[in-house]
Amino acid sequence: MDPDLALLLNGIVSGLLLGGLYAAAAAGLSISFGMLDVVNIAHPAFMVLGAMLVALFWGATGIDPLVLSILLTPAFWALGAAIYVAYHHFFERRGDEAIQGLAFFFGVMFIIEIGLVLAIGPEQHFADASYANTTWRLGEIDLPLRMLVPALVAFLAIGGLALFLRHSFTGRAIAAVAQDREALRLLAIDPVRIKRLAFGISIAMAALAGGALVVVQPVDAGSGHIFIGRVFAIVIMGGLSSLWGCVLAALAFGVVENVTASFYGPSWSPAVAFGALLLVLAVRPQGFFGRVA
């Protein structure tokens, strides 16, 4: 194969795998920020919290990190539900959630990060999956399982979530709460309960994303910072409340970053990716896949 073509194909494939990690990180936010209108800037911090816990438990038990992260999801769901109760009590109920809620999550982010530093230390932590050193090859295309398995697990989880949102009664109520809160009341559904449930799910997704992250790379308490911009960018490009849009945007983001890095050098890839988002925002603020408001 032509070396440039191989480079391009591998850039695209590795970008798709990277996009899988981004999709895992952004899916939870697509629920909280996209559907519930809760600007949870601390979402990547929850992801890092999940990753650090997985690393700790992995050190103690040696169970696969992704399995551990799935085991963590109920605890994270409860944590998310509790945080939503506080958020609702202090902000939504009063009707001034926009800026104050944002500051609240900023504070939560700080507390998580510093809490991790105080409790576990500022060093990097890691967890090795048994498959992390294996790479599948299709011709000249490499598929490292370190990236592939987390991406697949993420897609499975997102797929399951999408089915749940589309076909279960509760799931449809979650989708509806984003659109019209009053209509839910008429159906005798408590929108607060539904939103609590949904926010719990978004934080549970963060735990799963943490498992994926710690398989891909070592993490420290501040690892979430570089994801803040990316996950929000992805959710917006994906058109907020659309899970599929979020996945597609995540894949596109990964591919743009990696192809830029392959051909023009890695130093420009953040500018290209975020420049693209700025353009999207300026030209088509509802995102690629969003409905016109």
Partner 1 sequence: MSDATLPAMPVFPAPRRMGHGAFWLACAVAALALIAVLRGIGSEYAYFAATFVLQYVVLATAWNILGGYAGYVNFGAAAFFAAGAYTTVAIGKALGLSLLPCIGFAALVGGALGLGTGLLTLRLRGAYFAIATLCLSVVLQTLVVNWNYVGGSRGAYVIRPRDIPWPFDTYSGYLCAVAVVLAAAAIAIARTIEKSRLGLGLAALRDDEQAAEAAGVPTLRLKLIATTISGAMMAVAGAPLPLLGSYVEPTSAFGLAYAVNAIAMPLIGGTASWAGPLIGAVLLSSLQQAATVTISSAANLLIVGVVLVVFVCAAPHGILGLFRKGGR
Partner 2 sequence: MEGLSRRGLGRAAVAAAITVPATARAQSAPSGEPIKIGGSMSLSGGLAGNGRPAGLTHKIWADEVNARGGLLGRPVQIISYDDQSSGAQVPGIYTKLIDVDKVDLVVSGYATAIIAPAMPVVMQRNRTFVSLFGTGVNSEFKYDRYFSVNPSGSNPNQTFAKGFIELAMAMDPKPRSIAIVNLDSDFHQRAAESARSLARSAGLRVVYDRAYPPTTVDFSPIIRAVQAARPDVVFVGSYPPDTAGLLRAASELRVNLQLFGGPMIGPHITAQKLQLGPILNNLVVWDVYAPEPTLQFPGTQPLIERYQPIAAKEGTDALGYYVPPMAYTQMQVLEQAVKKVGSLDQGALAKAMHETTFDTVIGPVRFDATGEWPEPRDIYTQYQGVQGNGIDQFKKAGTQVILYPAQYKSGELRKPYTAGA
Task: Decide whether 208 or 231 has the Cβ nearer to partner 1.
Answer: 231
Q: Match 């970008």 to its residue by tokens.
A: 15
Binding marks (x or -) toward partner 1, 14..53, rule CB under 8 A?
A: -------------------x-----x--------------
144 binds, among partner 1, partner 2, none (CB under 5 to 8 A by kind): partner 2
Q: Which of 2, 15, 8, 23 lies closest to 156, judged by CA?
A: 23
Q: State the minimum distance, in angstroms, from the CB of residue 37 to partner 1.
A: 8
* 172 and 187 Cβ atoms separated by less than 8 Å: no
Q: State the minimum distance, in angstroms, from the CB of residue 148 to partner 1.
A: 28
What kind and span of H or E run contains 137? strand 135-138
Q: How many Cα neighbours within 13 Å face the side chain of 283? A: 8
Among 117, 152, 162, 178, binds partner 1 (CB under 8 A): 117
Among 67, 142, 172, 276, binds partner 2 (CB under 8 A): 142
Query: What's the rounded Cα separation, in Å, for the pair 223 and 63?
Result: 23
* 104 and 90 Cβ atoms separated by less than 8 Å: yes
Which window, 1-9, 135-143, 205-213, 279-287, contacts partner 1 (CB under 8 A)? 279-287
Query: What's the rounded Cα separation, in Å, for the pair 69 and 216?
Result: 14
Note whether 126 binds partner 1 by CB under 8 A.
no
Q: 174 Cβ partners below 8 Å, 6+ apart?
A: 31, 35, 165, 194, 195, 197, 198, 201
Q: Which residues make up the interface to partner 1 (CB under 8 A)?
A: 33, 39, 86, 90-91, 94, 96, 98-104, 106-111, 113-115, 117-118, 122, 225, 228-229, 232-233, 236, 267-268, 270-271, 274-275, 277-278, 281-282, 285
